[in-house]
Chains A and B, each alone.
Chain A
Amino acid sequence: EPEVTQTPSHQVTQMGQEVILRCVPISNHLYFYWYRQILGQKVEFLVSFYNNEISEKSEIFDDQFSVERPDGSNFTLKIRSTKLEDSAMYFCASSETVFGANTGELFFGEGSRLTVL
C-alpha cells in the first residue's frame, strides 16, 4: 500500500542549528502539507504546497521555516535557527488532487520527532 515516508524518525539538535526534515509523498499526489504536534497538544497546520509553491501557511510558519520540493519525489521542511519551542513531532501529509485536499483525505507519514536542546 502506498505510504508517505519521513526521515529522520528522530532528530536531536542544539538550539540555533538548522534542521531539514524530509518527506517522500505518495507518488501520484499533488498536494503536500506539513503539520506539527507539540507533545500533549493539538495537531497544528503549518503549510500547504501545490504546483511548486506555497498555497497556504499558518501564523506559525514564519521566516524561520521554508519548504521545498527539490526533485520529483522529495518534499522538505527546513527550520533555521531552531528554538526550544520547535521541539515537536512534524508530520508530512499528501493528497491526490485539489479536490482530494478539500475532502480532508490526507495521508500522513509517521512523523519526525525533533528535539531541540
Chain B
Amino acid sequence: EDQVTQSPEALRLQEGESSSLNCSYTVSGLRGLFWYRQDPGKGPEFLFTLYSAGEEKEKERLKATLTKKESFLHITAPKPEDSATYLCAVQAQTSGSRLTFGEGTQLTVNP
C-alpha cells in the first residue's frame, strides 16, 4: 500500500525565516511525486511534479527536491502570503492515475 507521511504537521515561521517541509513516501514504483498548496476552504493548487531522485524544481520562493525515500519543499524568505497547507502526493506506476496524498503541513508565516 502506498503511503505518504508529512512533517511537521504545523510550522510557524517569521517572515524571512527560511525552512523546509518533509515528505516521506513508500510506493511500489514511483511514477511521480507532487506538491500542492491548499488554502482554507479551497481545493488543492498544483505546484510541482518530480519524477526521479536528484530532480529539483523551483517556483518563486519554493524549491522541491526528491530522493529515493523523501522529498523536501524548501521555502526561502517566506512571506505571509505563503501561509497555507502544503500537500505532498505520490503516483505509483501500478496505480493508474490516482494520487495518494499525505496529511499536509500547515504553514503559518507571521509578518
Chain A contact residues, CB within 8 Å of chain B = 4, 31, 33, 41-45, 48, 55-56, 58, 91, 93, 101-111
List B54-108 residues whose CB lies under 8 Å from chain A: 87, 89, 91, 95-104
Closest to B43 in A: A108
B101 touches A104 (CB 8 A): no
B41 touches A110 (CB 8 A): yes
User: How distant is A7 from chain B, measured CB to nearest CB, in Å?
Assistant: 14
B102 touches A104 (CB 8 A): no
Chain A residues with CB below 8 A from B101, complex form: 42-44
B49 touches A56 (CB 8 A): no
- For B, the interface residue count at a CB cutoff of 8 angstroms equals 23
User: How distant is B66 from chain A, measured CB to nearest CB, in Å?
Assistant: 13
A-B contact pairs, 26 of them (CB 8 A): A31-B97, A42-B102, A42-B103, A42-B104, A43-B44, A43-B101, A55-B97, A56-B95, A56-B98, A58-B98, A91-B44, A93-B43, A102-B91, A103-B32, A104-B49, A104-B99, A105-B46, A105-B49, A106-B44, A106-B46, A107-B46, A108-B44, A109-B43, A110-B41, A110-B43, A111-B41
Q: Given A43-B101, A102-B32, 16 other A-B contacts at CB below 8 A? A: A42-B103, A43-B44, A43-B87, A44-B101, A48-B97, A48-B98, A56-B98, A93-B43, A101-B97, A102-B97, A104-B49, A106-B99, A108-B43, A108-B45, A110-B43, A111-B41
Chain B residues with CB below 8 A from A106, complex form: 44, 46, 99
Which residue in B32, B42, B89, B91 is a CB contact (below 8 Å) of A111? Answer: B42
Question: Does B34 lie at the interface of the complex (its beta carbon under 8 Å from any beta carbon of A)?
Answer: yes
Closest to A45 in B: B98
Given contact pairs A42-B103, A43-B87, A103 touches B98 in the complex (Cβ within 8 A): no
